[in-house]
Structure 1
Amino acid sequence: MAQGQQTYYGPGSYGEDQVEAFDFTEASIRRGFIRKVYAILMCQLLITMGFIALFLFHEGTSQFVRQNPYLFWIALVILIVCLISMACCTEVRRTAPMNFIFLALFTLAQSFLLGVVTSAYSVDAVMMAVGITAAVSLGLTLFAFQTKWDFTMMGGALVAFSIVLLVFGILAIIIRNNILTIVYAAAGALIFSLYLVYDTQLMMGGKHKYSISPEEYIFAALNLYLDIVNIFLFILTIIGATK
């Protein structure tokens, strides 16, 4: 393992003294891990795009969900339960096929909720948000792979920014002002863009101070997926608020 590098084994557990430590400096292990993560991520994004397209272009689906609002709450409960289980329970996200089952349930629930949200916007607005998100995500991923700056040390700062964003979001809900909504959404898109670079470099390992264990391919894919979804939602909010 590169000198000074620490491996990330899960939420709140940094260190080199873990029994299950991997030699993450070996290029073959790192490449295989990255390929697996991006293969899972692509499947998640394809499923999500399928749900969004279904809600946008099939009016019957949107009407059925509006007439049965309990479906929204069921999906939300499934999403929260799966997210907490994968984030807090190491065995859940490391043990196959349980980890894939939980990730699949989470992705389906998240995709359904995104479909419900996007159905409130015009097709042009959603397609524009998808295009911008794709361009931003690709650019940030390439930047994360190429830059010499180490973003893996920004974990504490990103948590602080997220707390500020949460308080800002509550304020934006109370005040209900278009300009405030745009500022809030722009700040959210920026913070989750930083999260995308941070999570990408955690996955890369190499010369970065912190890295994520190769066993955590489900957790790595989940983090990247949530980063991209949040960037998409904040960009969609900006587009919706400006129209």
Structure 2
Amino acid sequence: MTQGKLSVANKAPGSEGQQQTNGEKKEAPAVPSAPPSYEEATSGDGLKAGVFPQAPTAVPLHPSWAYVDPRNHELFTTYSWDDQKVRRLFIRKVYAILLVQLLVTLAVVALFTFCDAVKDYVQANPGWYWASYYYNTTSVLLCLGITALVCLSVTIFSFQTKFDFTSCQGVLFVLLMTLFFSGFLLAILLPFQYVPWLHAVYAVLGAGLFTLFLALDTQLLMGNRRHSLSPEEYVFGALNIYLDIIYIFTFFLSLFGTNRE
């Protein structure tokens, strides 16, 4: 009796393309062929024979939407700065933050300058009076106007000139150290004898030096100089320019605002 029994042929699996199970035919899984060797894959004959198919020709990507590995920070910055939209957005963020900072500073100065109640309170308390370094209204307004004109002129000049201020960081650092030690020596001499011309020279040098720093920090935003800021450092760039403007205003105030109320 052969009915109802399963006949199994003594054959190696995969020797035939089909096996019979319960009267149904089922295809045997195909055994994958061995991968090509390096010589076969890289040889011209292998490519022609289809052993290792040739990759399609790469299409050059535009820098504005090309994928860049974020771990390669230098390459990421280069691709970002090549895009004009990224640069304009970065500069817009910097000056928007700078505008908010200057408006807050101007509001505080106006409060202490034009509000009689606050002014009387500061003048009635010696500690607040000397801590505020108080000047009269005319001197403050004059220095604000001079600072605004100087900063606007330096910003326009920094965008137009071909001179690279970012390559002069060493020189500016030496001048800053000279100004620092000169101010330290002046602070020692002032309690014993006040020298008006020496104080004026120090104020002029300080205003000039931080005007150069303003030009340097402005060109760091442009991205087409020797050194530049990353597009993610817009807060740092705004803070640098804000401090430059405050220092310029302070030195102008110490130069022209000699009369106190």
Check whether the contact 2:154–2:211 (CA below 8 A) recurs between aligned residues.
yes
Question: Deviation digits for residues 112-170 of structure 1, max 9, x if unmatched?
Answer: x8xx23xx111111100000000000000000000000001111221211111011111
Report what 1:61 is aligned to: 118
Partner Cα distance (1:134, 1:61) in 2: 26
CA-CA distance at 1:61 after TM superposition: 2.0
Which whole-Å CA distance do the structure 1 matches of 2:181 and 2:238 have between them?
Answer: 27
Of 165, 168, 179, 1:165 maps to: 179
Report deviation, 1:238: 0.7
Give the superposed CA RMSD: 2.5
What is the rounded CA distance, in whole Å, between the counterparts of 1:60 and 1:170 in structure 2? 36
TM-score, structure 2 normalization:
0.65
TM-superposed CA distance for 1:20, in Å, is 7.8
Task: Show the 5 A alignment for 1:190-209.
Answer: 190-206=208-224, 208-209=225-226
Tell me if 1:143 matches 2:143.
no
**TM-score (ref. length: structure 1):** 0.69
Q: Does 1:174 align with 2:180?
A: no
Counting only pairs closer than 5 Å after superposition, residues 17-96 of structure 1 correspond to structure 2 as 18=73, 21-22=76-77, 23=79, 24-65=81-122, 67=125, 69=127
State the alpha-carbon separation in 1 of the partners of residues 142 and 221 from structure 2. 29
> Alpha carbons of 1:29 and 1:242: their partners in 2 closer, same or farther (altered >3 Å)?
same
* CA distance in 2: counterparts of 1:201 and 1:156, whole angstroms: 16
CA drift of 1:17 comes to: 5.8
Give CA-to-partner distance per residue, 1:65-114, whole Å, 9 cap, x none: 564958x9xxxxxxxxxxxxxxxxxxxxxxxxxxxxxxxxxxxxxxxx8x
Between the aligned partners of 1:140 and 1:40, the Cα distance in structure 2 is 19
Report the more deviating stretch, 130-139 or 24-33.
24-33
Displacement of 1:174: 2.2
**Equivalent-residue separation in structure 2 for 1:63 and 1:18 (angstroms):** 54
Task: For 2:120 and 2:109, locate their aligned partners in 1 and report how far apart those are by CA, in whole Å.
Answer: 14
d(CA) in 1 for partners of 2:126, 2:72 = 51
Q: Check the 8 A contact 1:129/1:236 in 2, yes or no.
A: yes
Contact 1:178–1:241 (Cα < 8 Å) also in 2: no
Cα shift at 1:187: 0.3
Consecutive unaligned residues in structure 2, runs of 5 or more: 1-70
Percent identity of the aligned residues?
42
* Deviation (angstroms), 1:175: 2.2
Task: Kindly name which structure, 1 or 2, has the bigger radius of gyration based on alpha carbons.
Answer: 2
In the alignment of these two chains, the number of paired residues is 183
Q: Secondary structure at the match of 1:21?
A: helix
Matched with 2:22 is none
Cα shift at 1:186: 0.3
Of 168, 172, 177, 1:154 maps to: 168
TM-superposed deviation, 1:242: 8.8
Does 1:221 pair with 2:238?
yes
Residue 231 of structure 1, CA deviation: 0.4
SS at match of 1:159: helix
Superposed CA offset, 1:15-74 (max 9, x none): x9636832212111110000010011011001100000000111322444564958x9xx
SS of structure 2 residue aligned to 1:212: coil
The aligned residue for residue 186 of structure 1 is 204
Counterpart Cα distance in 2 of 1:129 and 1:209: 33
Q: Which amino acid aligns with 1:159?
A: F
1:178-197 per-position Cα deviation (integer Å, ceiling 9, x unaligned) = 11010000000000000000
